[in-house]
Chain A
Amino acid sequence: MAERATGPGTGARPSGGLVLGPLRTLTNEFTDKERRLAYILVTPALAIILAIALFPLLYAIWLSFQEIIINQSSSFVGLQNYVEMFQDPDFHSALRNTTVFTVLSVSLELVAGMAIALALSRAFKGRGIARATALAPWAFPPAIAAVMWRLMFQDQVGGGIVAYLIKSSGIYTHPILGNDAALIGAAVLVDAWKTTPFMALLLLAGLQVIPQDVYEATKVDGATSWQQFWRVTLPLVRPAMLVALLFRTLDAWRVYDLLWVMGNRQLNSLSVYVYNGVKISQLDFSLGNAAAVFVFLSSIAIAFVFIKVLGTRAVE
């Protein structure tokens, strides 16, 4: 990133150049042959992002202030869609389910992922096999993972092995697929099965850049493994953890296929709410779209909190 220093927006520039500097750099950008080529090469990618992400996003925000009836007129209604959305009991259940699912699945995946990453960072026989199998569930389409696990959670049939094991262990004796809370719990387990190994591989990559002599030094100082983990490993692995956590949280926040399929279309989440409004009941199109904008804004808020809170603590 060395050439960033010549680009606009860098702080260390004489005060007079604040206005002229960037302009002069910009004209340079398009007269130099190689630079011009670079812009030509990134143009298709940028065009895709502008046309398929940025424009639809702005359009969605604009639409969220309209009352839309598909193939008919639309009229400006201000914040009415958002007011109606926040009063809708379905939106409440969507928000609640999504929050519970996100908090439970991400914390479970972080703790379990860290444990597995620590284990995989040791040298042992069969480590290659363990690491390879970790990647298998990650390649599964979530919708199909949900179908598979729904079969295993079926009550009273031969395929419902997980339901059978849970029932005979006495942990939970009611049909799991018949109750929203149990379904969300089941979905958390499925999500953890699918993503924990991947989380572990991300954390493992972070662990492997920690130099070995740091551990040797603390060992000489008489630190126990426990102290070593909290005082050395955790602070050093924090940047990798932040990336993995942020990614997983935003991913869980927009959960759709897993809950939709596991709950046989009946289990609500924010994305399911949007889908139902947009595709199923087109009378609720405006509400679904407003919820979509809500998902976008709340994702930004989550990212902001993560970077602000976890990011600064990593610097200290």
Chain B
Amino acid sequence: MGGEFETRWGKIVFYVLIILFVLMTISPLLWMAKMALVSQAELDAYPPTILPQSFDLTSFQTIFGDNRFRAGLVNSMVIAGATTVICLSVGSIAAYALARLEFGLRGPVLSMILAVAFFPAVAIIAPLFLQFSNWGMVNTYQSMIIPDVLFALPLTVYLLVAYFRELPLDIEEAAKVDGAGPMQTFFRVTLPLSIPGVVTTGLLCFIFAATEFLFANTFAFDSTTQPVTVIIPQFASQYRTDYGAQAAASMVVTIPLTILVLAFQRRIVSGLTAGAVK
């Protein structure tokens, strides 16, 4: 498929399609930004104005003046942060064993962890809801962190196994010759050398937990624990006609996520697609 374009027209059509693709991908973001930044009068105007005619920060004042929105941002950070830390701790040692140590059940263990990625989350919300109710754990951070860890774990292990395997074996072997045990080798050599991979994995864990919705919507009852993904759709009912506030809230959440993803774009793509071709 590589190589030269056969005709001049082929080239033009090709570029038009690529530009169309890029436009379709980013125009909803630009439109949300516009809606968040224009005046109420312009938001109500019909037919819509394509280019912004006014500039107004009222929408951002509305959402940041809302206690539930601010609490939601904090809750999201706590839930996603805790999920990331737990996943990286549990996942990195498991991934090291799976990548570097020899043991008979390695294949089955790896398959079992990866199978969770295909497991429908909705299948376990009823029993978890019963258990959490019995233990007085509904409407707590743990009720979301626990299932989030489960579902972020396969991705964590999968990526870290790939990163650990990429490291040159002879460095680890040299550590072994110097008398280091496998655990020392892991903490002193393997882990420090794969920091970029661990950071990328942590970022993906964080994004996963920050975008999770089903558990959050089921187990969190009020703004003391509800993350921002649950709070914003509620805005749609609360600020029913304040479209600017809804747009501003969406922007506040998605812009940092987008920047993070774009910054780590290359690593994320190579990590996530490694398994598809192997």
Q: Which positions in A face B, CB cutoff 8 Å? A: 1, 3-4, 6-9, 25-26, 28-29, 34-35, 37-39, 41-42, 44-46, 48-49, 52-53, 56-57, 59-60, 63, 68, 70-71, 115-116, 118-119, 121-124, 126, 129-144, 146-152, 154, 156-161, 164, 168, 193, 197, 201-202, 204-209, 212, 215, 228, 233, 239-240, 243-244, 246-247, 250, 253-254, 256-257, 260-261, 264, 270-271, 274-275, 277-279, 285, 288-289, 292-293, 295-296, 299, 303
Partner of A49, one of B112, B118, B121: B112
**CB contact under 8 A between A270 and B127, given known A44-B94, A132-B265, A133-B22:** no
A275:B260 contact, CB within 8 angstroms: no
> Total number of A-B contacts with CB less than 8 angstroms?
324
Chain B, residues 108-131, CB within 8 Å of chain A (1/0): the string is: 110011001111111111111111
Complex: A275 Cα to B125 Cα, angstroms: 8
In the docked arrangement, what's the CA distance between A2 and B181, Å?
Answer: 23
A159 to B117, CA, bound (A): 37
Q: Are the CB atoms of B277 and A288 closer together than 8 Å?
A: no
B104 and A7 form a contact (CB under 8 A) = yes
User: Which residues from chain B contact A292 at a C-beta distance below 8 Å?
Assistant: 122-126
CA distance in complex: A70, B105 (Å):
40
- Our pick among B46, B124, B182, B274 for the contact of A158 (Cβ within 8 Å) is B46
Find chain A residues with CB under 8 A from B250 CB.
144, 147-148
B interface bracket (residues with beta carbon within 8 Å of A): 35 or more
- Which of B29-37, B62-70, B166-174, B188-196 is found at the contact surface with chain A? B29-37
Contacts of B3 in A (CB 8 A): 122, 215
10 contacts between A and B (CB under 8 A): A42-B97, A52-B146, A63-B127, A142-B211, A158-B49, A164-B47, A201-B273, A215-B3, A233-B1, A264-B236
Contact (Cβ within 8 A) B126 A288: yes
- Distance, CA A119 to CA B17, complexed state (A): 9
Q: Are A136 and B157 in contact (CB under 8 A)?
A: no
- Residues of chain A within 8 A (CB-CB) of B121 are 254
- Among A34, A70, A168, A275, point to the contact of B102 (Cβ < 8 A): A34
Asked if residues B276 and A158 are in contact (CB atoms below 8 Å), the reply is no
Determine chain B's interface SS by DSSP, over half rule.
helix
Quick check: A53 and B102 within 8 Å, CB to CB?
no
A144 touches B232 (CB 8 A): yes
Asked if B105 and A29 sit within 8 Å, CB to CB, the answer is yes
Q: Contacts A150-B236, A254-B120 given: A133-B26 contact, CB under 8 Å?
A: yes
Cα separation A3 to B97 with both chains bound (whole Å): 13
Closest residue of B by beta carbon distance from A198? B272
Q: Measuring CB to CB, which residues of chain B are less than 8 angstroms from any residue of chain A?
A: 1-3, 14-15, 17-18, 21-22, 24-26, 28-29, 31-32, 35, 42-49, 90-91, 93-94, 96-98, 101-109, 112-113, 116-131, 133, 146-147, 149-150, 153, 157, 182-183, 207, 210-211, 213-214, 217-218, 229-230, 232-233, 235-237, 243, 246-247, 249-250, 253-254, 257-258, 260-262, 265, 268-269, 272-277
Q: Provide the residues of chain B in CB contact with A240, threshold 8 Å.
A: 276-277
A136 to B27, CA, bound (A): 11
| Closest 6 pairs between A and B when the two form their complex, measured CB to CB | A205-B273, A141-B211, A289-B126, A41-B97, A38-B101, A296-B123
| Residue contact B43 to A41, C-beta cutoff 8 Å | no
